[in-house]
Amino acid sequence: MTGWGRASLGAERLVAVVRAAYPVDLVALEPVAGGADAGARTWRAVEADGRAWALREASGGSPAGLEVAAAITAPGVPLPRRTTAGGVWTEVDGVRVSLVPWVAGRSALEVEPAPAQWAAFGRLLAAVHATPPVGRPSALPRDDHSGADVAALVAAADLAADAAVDRIGSEAAEVWVTARARVGRALDGVRATGTAGGTDLVLCHGDPHRGNLVVDLDGERLWLLDWDDAVLSWPERDQLMVVGGLPGFSTVSPEQLRWFEEGYGPVRPDPRRLAHHRGVRALEDAALFTSDALDRSRSDEQRSWALGLVRAHLRPDGILALAERTLADLAP
């Protein structure tokens, strides 16, 4: 069984896995659409008493994010359900299976959070960034800010483009090759702004865009979901999501930033660090979705969707252009 690039254990087996590992008796399981994480899949799982859980399968990334979510006590973080053995996930055939309470609400991409909810988001992210070392999982990934990881993604997209043979692949390769000089300059900027980048690291959510925020149905509370990318990094890795946000997807206005600062405090990102992380994010998105569009193991629908995202990221008003402007602003 597959989803958007995700292999799945399948509903029947997942129910058996959960029953074996958790004190939870599931009676229904429904796949949840959306998201572009190639290594994860989410289901809405329901118990006999009506209690609902977000069941997540993950075959990539780090499990440390689940430990982070379990350790942070700030309002707005759904606590993972503990297994019978006391863990926050169980593993079968290389797939981590976890449960967190299902949050009923709407994505902050679909509905505008109220000023108080932006402030609550600010308080939550401030608590994350202030988490002391004793509260951080030992296996938490650490950004070295060398640019090596994103350079590997760019190289993978280069190889895939060279091997393109069909119509969608040829279109994707053409788009990538046309933008390749821009990609190379941005990668140079990422490397230059990431030198000696192993200090002043804090706990970061890693991906706190509006798509990972859920506004409660009562219109009062706000939840931050998807902790799979939790990492030790510069705070600018998270702050870029509220300093303008992501063009065409998760934008944040100056007024919304002011509401956020009521909870977080003044957001004054270091220009070099902000430029570094904007460059990394732009290159990650462009390279990963280019590789997806060139991957013939995916359906034509999935590949066309990925190619559409690549085109959007490379537009004059897209995320790569924003990263280019931010890097250019550093020039003397």
- Closest-CA residue to 292 (of 172, 204, 131): 172
pLDDT tens sequence across 27-58: 999 988 765 565 678 899 999 999 999 999 98
Q: Where are the domains of the chain?
A: 1-102, 105-332
- pLDDT band at residue 136 under the 50/70/90 scheme: confident
- What amino acid occupies position 79? L
Please say if the pLDDT value at position 218 is more than 70: yes
CATH class of this structure's domain 105-332: alpha beta
Please say if the pLDDT value at position 275 is more than 80: yes
Lowest average pLDDT, out of 36-40, 118-122, 181-185, 271-275, goes to 36-40
Q: Which fold has domain 1-102?
A: Phosphorylase Kinase; domain 1 (3.30.200)
Please say if the pLDDT value at position 2 is more than 50: no
Please say if the pLDDT value at position 263 is more than 90: yes
**Are domains 1-102 and 105-332 of this chain identical in fold?**
no
Sequence-ordered list of residues with C-beta below 8 angstroms from that of 3, at least 6 positions apart, any chain: 31, 41
- Closest-CA residue to 78 (of 66, 60, 96): 66
Name the DSSP letter for residue 185.
H
- What amino acid occupies position 329? D
How much is the pLDDT for 196? 61
CA distance 96 to 7: 12
How much is the pLDDT for 94? 86
- pLDDT band at residue 3 under the 50/70/90 scheme: very low
Name the DSSP letter for residue 199.
S
Q: From edge to edge, which strands make up the β-sheet containing 95-101?
A: 26-31, 40-47, 52-58, 95-101, 90-92
Please say if the pLDDT value at position 10 is more than 70: yes
Percent of the chain at pLDDT above 90?
Answer: 73
- pLDDT band at residue 332 under the 50/70/90 scheme: low
Sequence-ordered list of residues with C-beta below 8 angstroms from that of 128, at least 6 positions apart, any chain: 72, 74, 202, 203, 204, 205, 238
Please say if the pLDDT value at position 114 is more than 80: yes
Q: What number is the average pLDDT over the span 67-93?
A: 91
Across the chain, mean pLDDT equals 90
Cα–Cα distances in angstroms (integers) from residue 213 to residues 119, 223, 232, in the given order: 13, 6, 21
